[in-house]
Amino acid sequence: MKFSEFTTTRRRFLQGTGGGLVLAAAGSFARPTAAVAAEEDTYRIENGFFSLTGAYGKLTEVACDPTGAGAYEPAAFRGVFLGATDFFTTSFNSDVAFESADGALSLTGIQLPSTASLKQEQLNSPVPLPVDSTLGQTFTAAMYRFTRVGGQFPTWSSSTSKVTMTLHAGSPETGLTEIATRDVDPVQDNGWAYLDFPAQPAGVYYLEISGAVGTPGWWSRLDGTEVDLGGAAYNNRQRQQNRTMTLDVSGFNVDGVASWDLTLDGAALAMKYDVQWKGVARKDPGMTLITSWVKDGYSVDYADGVLFSRFHGDEGAYLPAQQMKRRDAWTNPVTGATTVTATGTGPYDLQFSGKRPGLAGTMADDSLTLALTSGPGDAQATISRAIDVGLVAHTDELPAIFPVFVASDQDRAAQVSTFYWERAFSYRFDSHAMDWADWNGRILDWTATAGSRAQADSILNTKQDDDGYVWSWGDSRGWPFPDPKLFDARHFTSNAMYILGTWRYYSWTGDEEFLATMMPRVRRAMDFYLDSLDGKSGIVTIDSPDHDGTDGSLPSNYWDVTSFGYKDAFLNAYFYGALEALAQLEEHAGDAARAARLRTVRKVTKKRYGREFWNKDAGRYVQTVDVDGIVHDYGSTYVNLEAASFGLPSKKQAAQIFDWLDNGHTELQDSVVLIESGGLAPKLAAGHTMAQSFTANSAFVSVAARFPTYGARGAAFTMTLFAGTPYSASAVKIAEKQFDDWSDGRVAHIEVPRQSPGVYYLEVSNVSGELAWWSSAKAAPGGAAYFDGAIDPNASSRFVVALGEYYEGPADIYSKWVFAPRSTTRRNSYWFFLTHLTTPWGDEVQDGGAILYTSGFDVMARARYRGADDAWARMTAMLDRWSEPDHISGGSPLFRGEGTVNSPGATSVGTDIPFPESGLAPASFLYAFIGVEAEPGALVITPNLPSALTDAGVRHLHWRGRALDVQVTADTVSLTGEGVAISEPYSRGDSVRITSSRL
């Protein structure tokens, strides 16, 4: 047995990931770092397949050779250790004992740290530091070790002040031993300055500043603090009464002690570790593995230092390297029942086996840090884990739980399969809100992955009100925003999605227990539409005042910043689909009469849908008809494609829709005047007025402003537009509008007849309630801010927009984003709950941007109305874009410069995380071309092969508990697998129905 002793160096803590031990972020906390270990203190074991090297209780290199010949590839991992933070250094873990022999390594006495701090930041008294004087503070560090200390220092606006900071052990009364010192040059006024040093043990210490240059000082608190530093303040080393200096001490404690055993056995590495926690029981700290990575750019190649192309679990979780690029962290872990696999870009893959293993990751510029966990996630006084790492020759094959698309064009089929895995399985399976229920069912219910059952659990666990309304969010009746205490934040599509999700899951699985639980619920969900929202008339009409469909009203469905409401075309398309879904379930349950009544309503819905929502001039469906009868049509591609996927348009209407999509132009609108806010929001009290003058250099047709309410609701006001010089006798009132029940985030606007260029002003008056006007201290050319009819001395300009007329833009509905059509084709300036007036056209995903899922409905709708070749052309255009290096995924910018919604400052497109519905795009291959759909009593296959394919199919499809391979040709449908061998002829356009009794 060997014990190691080393000298100390230092470096900053890196923020931990996963496993439960997360230490402070870089920059706020310093920690020791190991020097290069001496030869006698380094352990190594190898067997030709694996080579492991390490020191201080960690592995510093893991290299592999899948042939077992000892010709090791570049290191798979350059750091492997227990817990979430690399604290395996000579100063912290110098007492780790190790034994190595015959391909086995045993490590004991490994200390696991957690962050600890002592911070006093209360202040009310700055103390100047005169030349040749000192200020100080003693403190008692109770933590195991600390590595950083600092204070907050004023300079009274000086930018050239300097001090020297010194840390001593002891106190002025007992004697001082200097530990570390630094010059702070310059001192940042009122900023914190820190001193880093080798780890120090618990005890009494003294931080002092001296050597004043300029006007430095130290912030303190008189008359007591909430934090007891265990010391006193000093001036020239004389104790001060009733004063405590600001102080920040950063360090760590030892939470537990671990042992770690590693054994090499051919192409397998067995690892076991035990952790004994000190004090309270804790969760498994897991393991950290650090591998090579390139964060920027688009390469995921071995030659560029990316060693793993994807990670997948044996229950269907999947994460490709492309999705991790240009991002800081994985959104979701990759878990498995017994195995998680890292697919290599080189000659080998690694399989991590154990009880419920899981991987999560964070990415730096040149490293990917993986957190490996296993076993139960509950806290235990003693943690024992066993994880095996299997080294296997590289393969692109996946476990049979992953479906595989096949076709005569093998390259295209492989693209669809990979695209599907990347989108269907890379987001969490569980805890989805009901707005996704139907979509996730289409994506997952026909698989044997954990995703299918997770969707059922989400449906089963969703709450329902007594009137039948289905909650929109897991813990809330409404959407997470806006504030449900102030607004009715419900999404009314949740009921339809709930019904469709139930129908799909049962149709695929035949889970009778699930259906018995859900039938009373889905009946109540439909009755909510039929009775509470007048759906029995054929059209669901939302009766909530917050969802009246007018400009600034609340979103009512998945499109969660777009107003919608009242007669909502998106909602009613799903109502139409849900009527048939429930009718099938009622038939299956033996209630033919109720099924017939639902189908009668459905026939009325189809007729009324066309009358209510069809825009005959534009040749498309609108989005909403509001409570005032005003039609809102911004060229919504998703409303039209999803309505078409349910079969709502006639053939003639469908032809018009696709002609608009394929050949139509965008309709744009520019700001003639745009005076933006600058952070000021002065309130306007009753009896007063505010105004902003502006100069329009070209004609405009509307004017708008933004009025915050500081979180309150219910303000009322009058907004008036005048032409001419403000408050002059020649000023002419152009238009006036009353606004009530006002709240934050909305835009007040007035539509006006075309106004010529000139000087105008916008005034707000007759205010009641909390109301302010976004304003700026920056002057706007050609305008000024007014208060009560005079120039406002407290603001120079206020937020005002004047918009010109619509004009024809480019025909780029598809060419702009390629992978999907624009979400809308007409600029939407005002019909938002949250304003996007200052967002350029196309930079907002719901206003000219694109969401990938709509391409799934595009393919399905085209297959239904335009034929397989037209749908295949759209699918292959999407696949060609996917085949570019980014796979339409990762952080901003994507390969063609697109900005993804989940990246800072980007809102143009939604393509992967956090959009699980993106899986609909590749999954459409199943529905549009193979033609598979499940019903409660049968599997229905309606092949629709494009001329480019002589056959198509899918392997590992699961129906009624059976794993099946499905293949269609021009005249035959075949199902094989698990004792099933069915082959049926068909004529083009016909369906083959296979009942469950034939399995």
Q: What is the mean pLDDT of the segment spanning 843-867?
A: 98
The model carries a pTM of 0.89
Among residues 385, 296, 366, 374, which one has the least CA distance to residue 334? 374
Query: What local confidence, expressed as pLDDT, does residue 40 receive?
Result: 62
Cα angle: 5, vertex 114, 60; to 5 degrees: 45
| Whether the Cβ atoms of residue 304 and residue 74 lie closer than 8 Å to each other | no
How far apart (Å, rounded) are the C-alpha atoms in residues 229 and 248? 10
DSSP-derived secondary structure for 301-370: -GGGT--EEEEEETTS-EEEHHHHTT-SB-SS-EE-SSEEEEEESSSEEEEEESSS-EEEEEE-SSEEEE
Q: Which are the contacts of 768, defined by CB distance < 8 A and separation ≥ 6?
A: 686, 715, 716, 717
798's CB contacts (< 8 A; 6+ apart) are: 675, 677, 690, 691, 692, 705, 773, 774, 775, 776, 785
Task: Give the mean pLDDT of 76-88.
Answer: 91
pLDDT digits (tens, 9 = 90+) for 907-935: 999 999 899 999 999 999 999 999 999 99
Mean pLDDT of 133-159: 96
Q: Which tens digit of pLDDT belongs to each residue from 824-848?
A: 999 999 999 887 889 999 999 999 9
Q: For residue range 315-373, what is the model confidence (pLDDT) as tens digits?
A: 999 999 999 999 999 989 999 999 999 999 999 999 999 999 999 999 999 999 999 99
* Planar angle of CA 634, 835, 762, nearest 5 degrees: 105
Angle at 235 (CA atoms; ends 231, 239), nearest 5 degrees: 45
Instruction: Give the relative orientation of helices 494-509 and 569-589 as an angle to the nearest 10 degrees.
Output: 40
CA distance 26 to 316: 35
839 vs 586: CA distance, rounded Å: 48
Q: What confidence score (pLDDT) does residue 38 get?
A: 62
Q: Which helix (DSSP H) or strand (DSSP E) does residue 203 occupy?
A: strand 191-213
661 contacts 813 by C-beta, under 8 angstroms: yes
Average pLDDT, integer, range 766-786: 96
Tell me the CA end-to-end span of the chain in Å, nearest whole number.
64
Block residue for tokens 């909510």: 528
Question: Using CB atoms within 10 A of its CB, is residue 422 exposed (0-12), middle (13-18) or buried (19+)?
Answer: buried
**What integer best gives the mean pLDDT of the chain?**
94
What value does the mean pLDDT take over residues 959-985? 96
Beta-carbon contacts of residue 376 (< 8 Å; ≥ 6 apart): 284, 355, 356
Show the 3-state SS of 208-277: EEEEEECCCEEEEEECCCCCCCCCCEEECCEEECCEEECEEEEEEEEEEEEEEEEEEECCEEEEEEEEEE
DSSP state at residue 954: E
d(CA 188, CA 148): 18
Distance (Å, rounded) from C-alpha 446 to C-alpha 472? 24
Question: Long-range contacts of range 461-467, CB-CB < 8 Å, 24 or more positions apart?
Answer: 462/434, 462/494, 462/498, 464/521, 464/524, 464/525, 467/524, 467/528, 467/532
Confidence (pLDDT) at 15: 21
* Range in 14-23, 44-53, 227-236, 942-951 the model is least confident about: 14-23
Q: What is the mean pLDDT of residues 684-700?
A: 98
266-293 in b/e form (b: 16+ CB < 10 A) is ebbbbbebbbebeeeebbbbbbbbbbbb
Measured distance CA(16)–CA(373) in Å, rounded:
14
Distance, in Å, from the CA atom of 606 to the CA atom of 653, rounded to the nearest integer, reads: 13
pLDDT score of 17 more than 60? no
3-state secondary structure of 608: helix
All residues at 6 or more sequence positions from 652 whose CB lies less than 8 Å from its CB, including other chains: none
Diameter over CA atoms, the chain: 100
**548-552: long-range contacts, CB 8 A cutoff, minimum separation 24:** 548/626, 548/627, 549/624, 549/625, 549/626, 549/627, 549/630, 549/632, 550/626, 550/627, 550/628, 550/630, 551/747, 551/749, 551/830, 551/831, 552/746, 552/747, 552/830, 552/831, 552/832, 552/833
Kindly state the average pLDDT of the residues 175-191. 97
529-539: burial string, b at 16+ Cβ within 10 Å, e else: bbeebebeebb
The neighbour count for residue 379, using CB atoms within 10 Å, is 13
Which residue in 655, 653, 613, 652 sits closest to 636, CA to CA?
A: 613
Residue 454 φ then ψ, to 5°: -65, -35
CA separation, residue 328 to residues 83, 134, 297, 905 (Å): 20, 44, 14, 15
- Yes or no: say if 776 and 681 are a contact pair by the CB < 8 Å rule: no
Segment 421-431, tens digit of pLDDT:
999 999 999 98
String of DSSP letters for 438-495: HHHHHHHTTS-SHHHHHHHHHHHH--B-TTSPBPSBTTBSS-SSS-TTTS----TTHH
Of 811, 826, 822, 815, the closest CA to residue 667 belongs to: 826
Which pair of tokens denotes residue 943? 């092949």
Rounded-to-10 torsion of CA 45, 47, 48, 53: -10
Residues 6+ apart with CB under 8 A from 322: 298, 300, 422, 885, 886, 887, 889, 890
pLDDT at 37: 67
Q: Are 459 and 437 in contact (CB under 8 A)?
A: yes
Q: Which residues of 443-477 are buried (b: 16+ CB within 10 A; e: fewer)?
A: bbbbbbbbbbbbbbbbbeebebeeebbbbbbeeeb
Q: What confidence tier does 474 reach under pLDDT thresholds 50, 70, 90?
A: confident
d(CA 831, CA 555): 10
- CA 274 – CA 284 distance, rounded (Å): 9
Percent of the chain topping pLDDT 90: 90
- Selection from 246, 287, 259, 276 nearest residue 139 by Cα: 246
pLDDT value for 571: 98
Half-sphere exposure of 222 (CA within 13 A, CB side): 4
Please give the structure tokens belonging to residue 969: 């040709």
**What pLDDT does 28 receive?**
34
Neighbours of 5 (CB within 10 A): 9
- In angstroms, the CA 528 to CA 519 distance is 14
